[in-house]
Amino acid sequence: MADTLTITDNRTGKSYEIPIADGVIRAMDLRQIKVSQDDFGLMSYDPGFLNTAACKSRITFIDGDAGILEYRGYPIEELAEKSSYLETAYLLYRGELPSRAMLQKWTEGVRLHTIIHENIKKFMDGFHHDAHPMGIFVGTVAALSTFYPEGKNIFDPETRRITFYRVIAKVPTIAAFAYRYSIGMPYAYPDNELSYPGNFLRMMFANPGEHYKPNPVLERALDVLFILHADHEQNCSTSAMRVVGSAHTDPFTSIAAAASALYGPLHGGANEAVLKMLREIGSKDKIPEYIKRVKAGEVKLMGFGHRVYKNYDPRARIIKQTADAVFEVTGRNPLLDIALELERIALEDDYFVKRKLYPNVDFYSGIIYQAMGFPTEMFPVLFAIPRCAGWLSQWEEMLLDPEQKIARPRQVYLGERQRHYVPIEERDAAPVR
Contacts with ligand SDX, residue ranges (CB under 6 A): 48, 232, 235, 266-268, 270, 294, 300-308, 355, 357, 360-362
Nearer to ligand SDX, 161 or 300 (CB): 300
Provide, rounded to whole angstroms, the least separation between the CB of residue 288 and ligand SDX: 15
Told to judge if 306 belongs to the known catalytic residues of this protein, a careful annotator would answer: yes
Nearer to ligand SDX, 106 or 343 (CB): 343
Provide, rounded to whole angstroms, the least separation between the CB of residue 296 and ligand SDX: 10
Nearer to ligand SDX, 203 or 258 (CB): 258
Told to judge if 63 belongs to the known catalytic residues of this protein, a careful annotator would answer: no
Q: How far is CA 313 from the centre of its chain?
A: 15
User: Which are the contacts of 4, defined by CB distance < 8 A and separation ≥ 6?
Assistant: 17, 18, 19, 20
Reported residue count of the chain is 433
Phi, psi of 177 (to 5 degrees): -65, -40
Among all residues, whose Cβ is closest to ligand SDX? 305
Q: Per the residue annotation, which of 223, 231, 306, 313 is the catalytic one?
A: 306
Provide, rounded to whole angstroms, the least separation between the CB of residue 326 and ligand SDX: 20
Told to judge if 362 belongs to the known catalytic residues of this protein, a careful annotator would answer: yes
The residues pairing with 75 across neighbouring beta strands, listed in sequence order, are 70
Provide, rounded to whole angstroms, the least separation between the CB of residue 391 and ligand SDX: 10
Q: What is the rounded CA–CA span in Å between residue 89 and residue 60?
A: 12
Query: DSSP letters along 194-253, please?
Result: S-HHHHHHHHHHPPTTS-----HHHHHHHHHHHHHTS--SS-HHHHHHHHHHTTT--HHH
What is the residue type of 25? I
In this structure, are residues 251 and 154 in contact, taking their beta carbons and an 8 Å threshold? yes
48: left (phi over 0), alpha (psi -120 to 50) or beta: left
Nearer to ligand SDX, 201 or 357 (CB): 357
Q: What is the rounded CA–CA span in Å between residue 253 and residue 143?
A: 8
Best CA proximity match to 391, nearest among 229, 210, 199:
229
Nearer to ligand SDX, 206 or 224 (CB): 224
Provide, rounded to whole angstroms, the least separation between the CB of residue 261 and ligand SDX: 10
Catalytic residue IDs: 267, 306, 362
